[in-house]
Structure 1
Amino acid sequence: MLSILHHPQLADCRRLFLRNYEVSINIGVHEFEKKGEQRVMINVDLYIPLALSTPKADHLDEVVDYDFMRSTIAARVSQGHVHLQETLCDDVATIMLAHPRVRAVRVSTMKPDVYPDCEGVGVEVFQIKNEA
């Protein structure tokens, strides 16, 4: 299997990441899940071409701000109940990929409190922007 980091379209990219961002969200298809919020851990990797993310003057506007990842997730989470982690993952990835500097994105979500005998259950998606 080809590692994402070795994908030919990402060879000239920098990877920004957000690790284990914990949110409380109404998520799930079961009735008991619809009655309250659950913890969800979200991880994001953004792949940004070095030409668009290498600061020359050490200014924040020369790069993609980490706050973009957190505020994007917070905005999506605030929209209300989500049935599936796949939906949440896809939505976050789509919004991240719409950023003009982002070439590719990897998003994963994990519900850590579903089963007592494992760390968590989750889903991951990877998308590369179509070059048009």
Structure 2
Amino acid sequence: MPDYTTIVDGLEVDMRLGIYPHEAAPQRVSLSVHMTVSYPHAPSADRIDEVLDYDFVREGVRAMAAGEGFALQESLVEAVAALCLADSRVTEVRVRSTKLDIYPDATVGCEIVRRR
């Protein structure tokens, strides 16, 4: 079975993420998602119905951003990983979140890898 890596990189959303009072307002967060996707055979018809349509990742993350938010980046990346692994073809997912505006000289983030 062929494996492919489907990537959604640099997805930037405004969301509530954090535990400090100054993080009560939505802030810029960037997400990167790398999914290892296993197919029974290599796509041959050049049609979207043969492969994973990554729109669900973007839409799911944007829905999370519009929701109540998360206290921890760890909780956010776990939720995104669960979203991706809901598709049985995804065998592994790497999710990275980065808060872009916490420090003037650095970003802060969290990354996980989950396997089926």
1:59 aligns with 2:47: yes
Task: Please tell me the root mean square deviation across aligned C-alpha atoms, in Å.
Answer: 1.5
Normalized against structure 1, the TM-score is what?
0.82
* In structure 1, C-alpha distance between the alignment counterparts of 2:28 and 2:111, rounded to whole Å: 17
Correspondence for 1:32: 22
**3-state secondary structure, aligned to 2:62:** helix
1:124 aligns with 2:111: yes
Normalized against structure 2, the TM-score is what?
0.92
Kept in 1, the 8 Å contact 2:57–2:83? The answer is no
- Count of matched residue positions in the alignment of Structure 1 and Structure 2: 116
1:44 aligns with 2:33: yes
Q: What is the identity, as a one-letter code, of the residue corresponding to 1:37? A: P
Query: Counting strand residues as a fraction of each chain, which structure ranks higher?
Result: 2
* Identity over aligned pairs, percent: 35
Kept in 2, the 8 Å contact 1:72–1:96? The answer is no
Query: Counting helix residues as a fraction of each chain, which structure ranks higher?
Result: 1
Structure 2: runs of 5 or more not aligned:
none
Correspondence for 1:4: none
